[in-house]
Structure 1
Amino acid sequence: MPPTRPTPGSDPDPALYDSLDGQVALVTGANRGIGAEIAGQLRDLGATVYAGARSVTADVPDGCESVPLDVTQEGDVEAAITTVGEEAGRLDVLVNNAGVGQFDDQLHEEPTPTIDRTLSVNLRGPTLLSKYALPPLLERDGGRIVNVSSGMGAIGEDQSGGSPSYRISKTGLNGLTAYLHGEYAADGLLANAACPGWVATEMGGEDAPRSPAAGAETPVWLARLRPETVGGGLWRDRQPVEW
């Protein structure tokens, strides 16, 4: 049975893995912030974690396997998936976490290079990662793709207040999540998006009320879903929300 799509406002209680022993995860942007927390928490659950970072000298959480990965470079993306396959022989979880954002200008003021980079990192990157990760993820039921998104991309909410390319990129990422569910759920894939909230990271700023550990909770929870549970939703604090 394919995973069901959650209804916003419901209180689903999907079955979860208590341990990820024997499973393999790839996390992008895993050298700091939410990504480092996700990688570390998945490691603590027993997974073999490949921590993607743009620089080969970047620090990644202890116990994780560092893999060079600039999500804007297709060669890096393909090489990272190949490395995981050759070294680990499987891939169970892809977490598309790497992201950038500028939060001030309106669209008529935002520099075109900012638009290009934001869309490249936040949307094109996860699309390419998903493209190359799908074959190993579909080798067994219950492969998971978790897209770290944002409520700022929800088309049901007021899209004002600047941050145009960031908002548009996250709307697109939510669309990628819906597409992956619609196209591959019947093949056993569980694709979901998570809104971590406003988190105190380099991008979120020091005034943000949430810690990176708190921001990582829902993405890690989605990475623990068992086969044939739920897919195709945007989640905040482990609850499905409108998007």
Structure 2
Amino acid sequence: MKKKLEGNSYLYITKNNEYMSNKKTIIITGANRGLGLALTEKLAAEGNTIIMVCRDSENARKVFKSLQSAGLSVVIKYADIAIPQQIDTIFESIYNEFKSVDVLINNAAINIDGEKTSLETLSLETIEKTFNTNIIGSMWMSKKALPLLKNAAEGRIINFSSGLGHLTVPRMGPFPAYSISKTAVNSLTHYLAEELKDTNISVVSVDPGWVRTDLGGPNAPLAIEEGIDTPYWLATVEKDKLENGKFYKEKSVITW
């Protein structure tokens, strides 16, 4: 169930499960729109504290104000995750304000390839911008969050990948920089899960499907509520139901 808030925001009313009975602190990048906003609303509605990481914009400020006015526990940190120094700056304050973080959701991403782009026509600027946000940003967010995740009872990193990031299925579109960056996100998940296997932290990738957002476009078959179904489940499911280091879609493990 959802309740309309200011603008295009909604307050999601859901039931808690056993794992989420103790309220969590959750970092979500790209939290002011699309799937990131929907996850913020749904998880905050359950009483969790959401640290919203967003580029400084009028939209981000309006969304944050609306969520605060609804009585939700949200904190906003302004950073362009494509710029590691800005990530460093926000974590200076996060370290001072929070002793631990339970979940990091690396959601923020861009696709600026253009519909008819090939590697032959792709510009270096597009490659750099895409990789700086989609993979370097996620790597640096993960690095900076690790000390806080290790302080949690059960830390968790959820990396947003894409169907375009698969290695074992045909590419679904001519988006070379975006596709390769999402394959790199899956590599990050695989690597981190192995590095952290003897710790309290689980790491997974998720393909939310083709969703009607600013990134997915108006022709996508899935509504936002459908797109957050598996990411929400991954953030809230009990640890013994989660396979560490795997790629998920529709709440099931899929091939890389």
Q: TM-score under structure 2 normalisation?
A: 0.83
Q: Which residue of 2 aligns with 1:11?
A: none
Does residue 232 of structure 2 align to residue 231 of structure 1?
A: no
Pair 1:129 & 2:138 matched: no
Deviation of 1:205 (Å): 0.7
Partner of 2:164: 152
Specify the SS of the correspondent of 1:147. strand
Between 1 and 2, higher relative CO (CA 8 Å, sep ≥ 6) is seen in: 1
Q: Which residue does 2:190 correspond to in 1?
A: 178
Q: Deviations over 1:33-60 (max 9, x none)?
A: 0110111111122210011110154233
- 2:102 pairs, out of 92, 96, 107, with 92
Alignment of 1:241 onto 2:254:
yes
Contact in 1 for aligned 2:104/2:157 (Cα 8 Å):
yes
What amino acid sits opposite 2:98 in the alignment?
A
Aligned to 1:209: 221
User: 1:82 aligned to 2:85?
Assistant: no
Residue 45 of structure 2 corresponds to: 44
The two structures, once aligned, show a CA RMSD in angstroms of 1.7
Alignment of 1:91-130 (within 5 A): 91-101=101-111, 102-104=113-115, 105-130=117-142
Q: Which residue of 1 aligns with 2:35?
A: 34
Q: Is the contact made by 1:30 and 1:60 (CA closer than 8 Å) also made in structure 2?
A: no
Map Cα deviations across residues 177-225 of structure 1 (whole Å, 9 max, x no partner).
0011101021121101111111111111111111122111111111113
8 Å CA contact retained: 1:50, 1:65: yes
Specify the SS of the correspondent of 2:253: strand
CA, structure 1 residues 160+219, in 2 after alignment: closer, same or farther (shift >3 Å)?
closer
Query: What is the CA-CA distance between 1:161 and the residue it aligns to?
Result: 3.7
Instruction: Give ranges in structure 1 of 5+ residues lacking alignment.
Output: 1-15
Q: CA deviation at 1:21?
A: 4.0
Q: What is the TM-score of this pair, normalised by structure 1?
A: 0.88
Structure 2, gaps ≥5 residues long: 1-16
CA gap of 1:17–1:126, structure 2 versus 1, over 3 A, is farther
Alignment of 1:61-80 (within 5 A): 62=67, 63=72, 64-80=74-90
CA distance change for structure 1 residues 160 and 196 in 2, over 3 Å: closer, same or farther? closer
- Matches of 2:142 and 2:253 in 1, distance apart? 22
